[in-house]
Amino acid sequence: MSLDWFITIITNNWPMLLRGAWMTLVISTLGTLIGALIGLIIGVINTTPKAQKGGQKTFLAIVNGLLRVYVEFFRGTPMIVQAMVIFYGTPLIMQWLKATIGTDFGFNGDMNATFAAVVIVSLNTGAYMAEIVRGGIISVDKGQFEAARAMGMNHWTTMTSVVLPQVLRNILPATGNQYIMNIKDTSVLNVITVNELFFQTKTIAGANFRYFESFFIACIIYLIMTLTATQVLRFFERRLEGKANYQMLDEAGIMRPKSRE
Amino acid sequence: MGNVIDIQHLSKSFGSHEVLKDINFSVEKGEVVTVIGSSGSGKSTLLRCINLLEIPSGGEIIYHGENILQKKNLNDYRKHMGMVFQQFNLFNNWDVLNNCTVGQKKILKRSKAEAEEIALNYLKVVGMDRYVKARPHQLSGGQKQRVAIARALSMSPDALLFDEPTSALDPEMVGEVLRVMKELAQSGLTMIIVTHEMEFAREISDRIVFMDKGLIVEEGSPDELFNNPKHERTKAFLQRALK
pLDDT of residue A63: 92
SS3 call for B20: strand
Q: pTM for the complete prediction?
A: 0.82
Task: Answer left, alpha or beta for residue B142, where phi above 0 means left and psi between -120 and 50 means alpha.
Answer: alpha
How are beta strands B215-220 and B66-67 bridged, if at all? unpaired
Query: Mutate which of A142, A149, A151 to disrupt the B interface (most B C-beta within 10 Å)?
Result: A151
DSSP state at residue A141: -
Chain A environment of B79 (Cβ under 8 Å): 151-152
Q: Least CB-CB distance to B53: which of A146, A169, A253? A: A146
What is the tally of helices (H) and strands (E) in chain B?
9, 10
CA gap A246, A250 in Å, rounded = 13
Q: Indicate the range of A55-59, A130-134, A228-232, B94-98 predicted with least confidence.
A: A55-59
SS3 call for B159: strand
pLDDT of residue A253: 54
Q: CA dist A242 to A164, A246, B95, B137, Å?
A: 18, 10, 12, 10
Q: Which residues contact A146 (CB under 8 A, 6 or more apart)?
A: B53, B85, B89
pLDDT of residue A123: 95
Residue (of A134, A158, A157, A175) closest to A43 by Cα position: A134
Mean pLDDT of A98-116: 84
Mean pLDDT of A169-184: 92
Predicted confidence (pLDDT) per residue in B65-122, tens digit: 889 888 878 888 999 999 999 999 999 999 999 999 999 999 999 999 999 999 999 9
CA gap B20, B22 in Å, rounded = 7
pLDDT of residue B61: 92
As to burial, measured by CB atoms within 10 angstroms (0-12 exposed, 13-18 middle, 19+ buried), residue A90 is: middle
A148 pLDDT higher than 60: yes
Q: What is the DSSP string of B45-95?
A: HHHHHHTTSS--SEEEEEETTEEGGG-S-THHHHTTEEEE-TT----TTS-
Q: Least CB-CB distance to A161: which of B53, B75, B102? A: B102
pLDDT of residue A175: 92
For B131, which residue in chain A has the nearest alpha carbon? A248
Establish, for the pair of chains A and B, how many residue pairs have beta carbons separated by less than 8 Å: 85
Contact at 8 Å (CB) between A140 and A148? no
Task: Please report which confidence band the pLDDT of residue A70 belongs to, taking 50, 70 and 90 as the band edges.
Answer: very high
CA gap B217, B227 in Å, rounded = 16
Predicted confidence (pLDDT) per residue in A7-29, tens digit: 888 888 899 999 999 999 999 99
Cα-only R_g, chain A: 24
For A250, which residue in chain B has the nearest alpha carbon? B130
Q: At what angle do helices B112-125 and B96-106 cross, to 10 degrees?
A: 130
pLDDT of residue A256: 52
For A141, which residue in chain B has the nearest alpha carbon? B89
| Backbone dihedral angles phi then psi of residue A227, each to the nearest 5 degrees | -65, -40
Q: Flag if B135 and A246 touch (Cβ within 8 Å).
A: yes
Domain A3-259, CATH class in plain words: mainly alpha
Chain-wide mean pLDDT for chain A? Answer: 88
CA gap B18, B25 in Å, rounded = 18
Would you tell me how many other CB atoms lie within 10 Å of the CB of residue B196? Answer: 15
SS3 call for B1: coil
End-to-end CA distance of chain B: 37
Q: Which amino acid is at B123?
A: L
| Domain extent listing, chain A | 3-259
User: Dihedral (C-alpha) B181, B186, B190, B191: value to the nearest 10 degrees?
Assistant: 30
Starting at the edge strand found earlier in the chain, the sheet holding B66-67 runs B17-28, B3-14, B58-63, B66-67
Pairwise pLDDT comparison (A24 vs B39), residue with the higher score: A24
Q: Indicate the range of A44-53, A170-179, B6-15, B228-237 predicted with least confidence.
A: A44-53
Give B26's strand partners: B6
Would you tell me how many other CB atoms lie within 10 Å of the CB of residue A257? Answer: 7
Kind and range of the H or E run holding B28: strand B17-28
pLDDT of residue B116: 94
Pairwise pLDDT comparison (A3 vs A224), residue with the higher score: A224
Q: Indicate the range of A11-25, A41-55, A170-184, A192-206 predicted with least confidence.
A: A41-55
Chain B environment of A157 (Cβ under 8 Å): 106-107
Residue ranges of domains in chain B, CATH in brackets: 32-52+74-242 (3.40.50.300)
pLDDT of residue B15: 87
CA gap B50, B61 in Å, rounded = 8
CA gap A9, B22 in Å, rounded = 85
Predicted confidence (pLDDT) per residue in A125-143, tens digit: 999 999 999 999 989 999 9
SS3 call for B25: strand
Chain B environment of A169 (Cβ under 8 Å): 93
Predicted confidence (pLDDT) per residue in B158-209, tens digit: 999 999 999 989 888 899 999 999 999 999 999 999 999 899 999 999 999 9
Q: CA dist B69 to A20, A144, B72, Å?
A: 62, 24, 8
pLDDT of residue A44: 87
Q: Flag if A249 and B133 touch (Cβ within 8 Å).
A: yes
Q: Flag if A150 and B53 touch (Cβ within 8 Å).
A: yes
SS3 call for A133: helix
Q: CA dist A127 to A37, A63, A73, A181, Å?
A: 11, 15, 8, 14
Would you tell me how many other CB atoms lie within 10 Å of the CB of residue A98? Answer: 14
For chain B, the maximum distance between any two Cα atoms, rounded to a whole number of angstroms, is 55
Mean pLDDT of A72-85: 94
Helix residue spans in chain A (DSSP H): 3-46, 54-76, 79-101, 113-138, 142-151, 155-157, 164-185, 197-208, 211-241
Chain B environment of A150 (Cβ under 8 Å): 51, 53, 78, 81-83, 85
Pairwise pLDDT comparison (B1 vs A166), residue with the higher score: A166
For B84, which residue in chain A has the nearest alpha carbon? A147
Q: Flag if B82 and A242 touch (Cβ within 8 Å).
A: no
CA gap B192, B145 in Å, rounded = 16
